[in-house]
Amino acid sequence: MVLLLFVDLDPDLAALRRLGGFFALRTAPSPAAAPQASLPTLAQVYAKGSADVYGNPMTFRVRKVGDVLRSPEVRIAASVAQQGLAARLWSVALGCAALHDRIPDLDPRLLHWDPDGSAPDDLWLSAVRPLPADAETLADVVLHAHLRPLTEHLHSRYRVAEGLLWGNAASALAGAARQLDGWARAHGRTDVAARARARTAELLAHPLLAGTGTLTGTAFRRRSCCLYYRVPGGGVCGDCCFTRPPRSSPRAASG
């Protein structure tokens, strides 16, 4: 008989904190943040025509990111905002999968977001409901529940190319996996590193992410560009399809 042993998620997800800011997830609203009632759920953010104290939460966030970056184009700010949120979602899900072989249900109706927060995006989960950590469940929890409606919203609202946004999603996943691999190796947790690598490879083969780039070990090279090179002082990211910032035809990078 083979016994499969799983570590249950602790109610406040405390184990994630040791991995860094992108992985930590609060399970109660911060006293220093905006009042709980004013923080939208991500379900509200993705809903068409959504509005709250910030107006439209995603529009507010994109404008805030654009102001910080001094972005010359709103689609650049939309791209960077989407990648930041994708990185938070993947980090939480993949971090729990690698540490516990369980993940929390990140149902958009349970996950609250402060669009006026700093980076990493400020999230809190109103209930911790454990789920299996297989690739299919991870895809349902992050890709289908969050990143697909977010991609549709930003493509429709800001005309950001869907290929660029899915490239951002893949890049964020690979980045979370690299961070986990580094932490696991530094702490002698080969089991954590192995689970992170396996789930990442499976997820990058998902139809929504397949073809976005090439994973070699923990290194990822994407086939699109997030457009960060176009902000003042910006350059190309480590996994960019470009080796240096393009000097002409900037819209060629948007696919």
Inside any domain, residue 93: yes
Confidence of residue 28 (pLDDT cuts 50, 70, 90): confident
For residue 159, the one-letter residue type is R
Inside any domain, residue 105: yes
Left, alpha or beta for 39 (phi > 0: left; psi -120 to 50: alpha)? beta
Which residue is associated with the tokens 């090179």?
229
End-to-end CA distance of the chain: 51
Domain count for the chain: 1
Inside any domain, residue 226: no
Examine the pLDDT at 108 and tell me if it is beyond 80: yes
Inside any domain, residue 33: yes
Inside any domain, residue 144: yes
In contact, 198 and 217? CB cutoff 8 Å? no
pTM, entire model: 0.89
Inside any domain, residue 233: no
Inside any domain, residue 20: yes
Query: In this structure, what CATH number is given to the domain that contains residue 192?
Result: 1.10.510
Examine the pLDDT at 5 and tell me if it is beyond 50: no
For residue 244, the one-letter residue type is R
Inside any domain, residue 149: yes
- At 114-138, the pLDDT tens digits run 999 988 999 999 998 999 999 999 9
**pLDDT at residue 250, rounded to an integer:** 45
- Evaluated on CA atoms 48, 151, 92, 83, the torsion sign reads negative
> What residue numbers bound the domain in which 61 lies?
14-212
